[in-house]
Amino acid sequence: MKLADKVAIVTGGGRGIGRAIVLSFAREEASVVVSARTAPEIEEVAREVEKFGRRSLALQADVSREEDVQNMVDQTLKAFGRVDILVNNAGTNLPFRNVADLTLAEWNRVLEVNLTGPFLCSRAVLPAMIRQRSGKIINISSIGARYAAAGRSPYRTSKAALLQFTYCLAAEVKQYGIDVNAVCPGPTDTRMMKDIARGNLFPALTRPEEIAEVVLFLVSEASSAITGTAIDAFGLNNPLFR
């Protein structure tokens, strides 16, 4: 199996793309730490992981809080002794909001979760990965990192900045055998997408499982030549097709 004996942390793992990633890892024999702010969701996903015969932990955490992130990684190392994979998937968004109408609190919250969260999580796992001389870090960005749109400045700014963070971190840690990449999904069939895209029509929403397959490739040995890269997974919503 592709991930036999690997230990993965997936933030935002309770539903949508995160849940699909967790289950794809479990199918490939990884042990998975499922993290999010909502305990019932991650506990259910952890039980699904265990049905594959793999170990799992459900750890409630807000990735924008330094103490929550450090506790998540400490508990992972206590339970498994190592961490091989980190998927920074937790994210948040706002309904359509022009800059003139944004509050500072709204702006800060989106950047705290979507950008500061991946920084905190990556920083927390790096000591273990550096000791191991191996590791895979995947940041879930967005088609919004590539294209601007009115009313979407906090989200798209945070996701664009996340790509630069990916590239910078990849350059820093390649010497330790750690690969860092990003995935930019297009509109995907998730609760967040449906909440913020009311009235917008797309040719077809990508399934979360399709994004999970891209992530699975990036954390497997098959991607050993790939680091410091962002893969666009736009599906039928690729602007080329419009």
- Do 239 and 218 form a contact (C-beta atoms < 8 A)? no
Q: Mean pLDDT throughout 152-179?
A: 98
Domain count, the chain: 1
Q: Looking at residue 12, which CATH number applies to its domain? A: 3.40.50.720
Asked if the model's pLDDT at residue 239 lies above 70, the reply is: yes
Nearest CA among 206, 198, 228, 236 for reference residue 17: 206
Identify the pLDDT of residue 195. Answer: 67
Identify the pLDDT of residue 198. Answer: 59
**How large a percentage of the chain has pLDDT more than 70?**
95
Q: Which of 147, 155, 167, 176 is catalytic?
A: 155
pLDDT band at 201 (very low <50, low <70, confident <90, very high): low
Residue 155 a catalytic site member: yes
Within-domain flag for 21:
yes
Asked if the model's pLDDT at residue 190 lies above 80, the reply is: no
Within-domain flag for 161:
yes
Within-domain flag for 2:
no
Within-domain flag for 1:
no
- Strands lying side by side in the sheet with 135-140: 56-60, 31-36, 7-11, 85-88, 135-140, 178-185, 229-233
Q: 13-40, pLDDT tens digit by residue?
A: 999 999 999 999 999 999 999 999 999 9
Q: Mean of the per-residue pLDDT values for the chain? A: 95
Identify the pLDDT of residue 208. Answer: 95
Q: 139-154, pLDDT tens digit by residue?
A: 999 999 999 999 999 9
Nearest CA among 74, 65, 115 for reference residue 57: 74
End-to-end CA distance of the chain: 39
Identify the pLDDT of residue 124. Answer: 98
- Do 106 and 97 form a contact (C-beta atoms < 8 A)? yes
Domain range for 48 is: 7-241
For β-strands 56-60 and 31-36, DSSP reports them as parallel
pLDDT band at 205 (very low <50, low <70, confident <90, very high): confident
Q: Mean pLDDT throughout 110-124?
A: 98
Question: 237 versus 65: which is more confidently predicted?
Answer: 65
pLDDT band at 138 (very low <50, low <70, confident <90, very high): very high
**Cα 170 off chain centre by:** 16
pLDDT band at 199 (very low <50, low <70, confident <90, very high): low
Q: Mean pLDDT throughout 77-91?
A: 98
